[in-house]
Amino acid sequence: MKMNSGGRSGNGHKSASKMENSHAPQKDHVTGIQVTRVNGSDSRLSQEDIERFREILLSKRQQLIGDVDHMKDEALHESRKDAAGDLSSMPIHMADIGSDNFEQEFTLDLIQNEQTLLKEIDEALQRIDKGTYGICIATGKPIGKARLKLKPWAKYSIEYVRRMEKGQESK
């Protein structure tokens, strides 16, 4: 093939060396995870990437456990009287009791959401142990690194989630 002055072969395509450079891995500045894009999608996870995701998941898990424990203590063990340090037997106004009940219900809902997230994180850690982390459990296709960086416990690819959302919207 002839090479022209633009570094292209005679048939108008870029040379192989230029194509390789356009797909060179780049390290994410936040997580340090190598991301290689091929045709606009992320490549498979390396063992180093998986270990970084494991560390991120374990760290998030510890943070959530601490948050849940703190919220449980606040919601279940402290009444308004205890929190204010009021040791008298003076009756509490009904509006105060209603506010306390609302706050307690709200906190219990937050605890439930945090526990659901903990379950998803534990499932992601199990997928790492099984060697299936980063694979969509519905389609068997890789989950993009960009999605895993935002939601390391993701079990579905963004393409599958979008298809499901469209299907639910039309119902």
| Domain assignment of residue 22, yes or no | no
Are 117 and 102 in a shared domain? yes
Amino acid at 98: G
In this prediction, residues 28-54 reach a mean pLDDT of: 64
pLDDT at 150: 95
User: 0.75 exceeded by the pTM?
Assistant: no
| Domain assignment of residue 115, yes or no | yes
Are 128 and 164 in a shared domain? no
DSSP secondary structure, 15-77, as one string: PHHHHHHHT--EE-TTT--EE-EETTEE-PPPHHHHHHHHHHHHHHHHHHHHHHHHHHHHHHH
- What is the number of structural domains in the chain? 2
Are 50 and 126 in a shared domain? yes
> What tokens does 157 get?
């690819």
What is the span of the domain harbouring residue 110?
Answer: 46-132
Q: At what angle do helices 94-130 and 47-77 cross, to 10 degrees?
A: 160
| Model pLDDT for residues 78-117, shown as the tens digit of each residue | 554 455 555 554 557 677 777 777 887 887 888 899 999 9
Bridge pairing between strands 37-38 and 41-42: antiparallel
Are 98 and 154 in a shared domain? no
Are 79 and 119 in a shared domain? yes
Are 97 and 162 in a shared domain? no
Query: Torsion over CA of 86, 88, 94 and 95, rounded to 10 degrees?
Result: -20
Q: Are 116 and 68 in contact (CB under 8 A)?
A: no
| Domain assignment of residue 6, yes or no | no
pLDDT at 84: 52
